Copies of this chain bind each other. A is one copy, B any other.
Amino acid sequence: MRPTISDIARIANVSKATVSRVINHKSQGVSTETKERILKIIDELGYLPNTLARSIVVDETKTLGLVIPDLTNPFFPQMVRGIIQRASQEGYTVFLCDCGNDPETEAKYVMSLIEKRVDGVILASSADCKTASMDSLKHYGVPVVQVDRVIGDSSASVAIDNRKGMFEATQRFIQMGHRHIAFLGGPKGVSTTIQRFSGYRDALEASGIEVNKELITYGDFSISSGREMMKTLISRHPEITAVIACCDLIAIGAVKTLIRHGISIPDQCEIIGFDGIEVSDVFDPCISTVRQPIDEMAEEAVKLLIGIVTGTISSNRHIIFEPTLDLRKTTK
């Protein structure tokens, strides 16, 4: 059996209160010698305070929940890594939940996080416009910052300027003379898809180019989806000479399809992805992309959440990062 604070107290011939003070570095009111004595015993017995018992009284678990749609998209591991790292620096441990893109699973996970009394949650929702998770979190008063995908504006959030990123990418294509620019979207309802689409649309409209619905498709954030979307699009609309993809994976899938169809990149067709994940560097040809500063965003999300938890930041602050257009081998 692991020793408890009472054991330490008994052996050191002091009260639990004194031991507690020593443990928590609130040593005012404890003489140096008793302190030393207690520390020695703690060390000898390998005593570890029971954080559960502690949490229950101080009403704080030093634990965060991180809820993401899908670890399979390399964007998220990178984000997760940054978040965990920063959280740990701040003394927090994080529960990771991978929802497999399913909003119901997400809702279940969130409930279990609330039951586990996490101090806060970082959420990249799998849901579209409305989400049971956000309702639960709000109802139980759990601090939350939405990341990447943002639903409503009632919670804090950290995101990229999706519209601007896609606007610039599309604008670039227009400047290069393209007139038939395809849009390969993620899931239709997801906020990132919607915002990125609006950048695409706005750029076209700003140049007086008609938005052709025929060139717009939706799928999900995966290579195979990119493949499929590109396949149907290119067979029906061989006039396409440029492609805006909603993420790098989609772009990779699209490139593969194009190459298979004997279309050379970037000569006959240019393509720009989104995210700037590592695979997009490695893939041949190197994917041109709208890059997100993933690490900084991760860091900022944690700082923001902890700020909210500790009450130093208001709970509806929105942080928007600037995307950078990174042109490589799939553009001229």
Contact = CB atoms under 8 A, between A and B. Distances in A.
Interface of A: 2, 46, 48-53, 55-56, 61, 63, 66, 71-72, 74, 76-78, 80-81, 84-85, 88, 93-98, 100, 109, 111-117, 139-141, 223, 252, 256, 278-279, 282-284
B84 A78 contact: no
Q: How many copies does the complex hold?
A: 2
A278 B2 CA distance: 44
A78 B77 CA distance: 10
A257 B247 CA distance: 27
22 contacts: A2-B140, A2-B141, A48-B115, A50-B117, A51-B115, A51-B117, A52-B116, A56-B56, A71-B80, A71-B81, A71-B84, A74-B77, A80-B96, A80-B98, A84-B98, A93-B113, A95-B96, A252-B282, A256-B282, A256-B284, A282-B283, A284-B284
B80 A72 contact: no
A77 B96 CA distance: 11
The CB with the most chain B CB atoms within 10 A, among A100, A114, A282, is that of A282
A100 B86 CA distance: 12
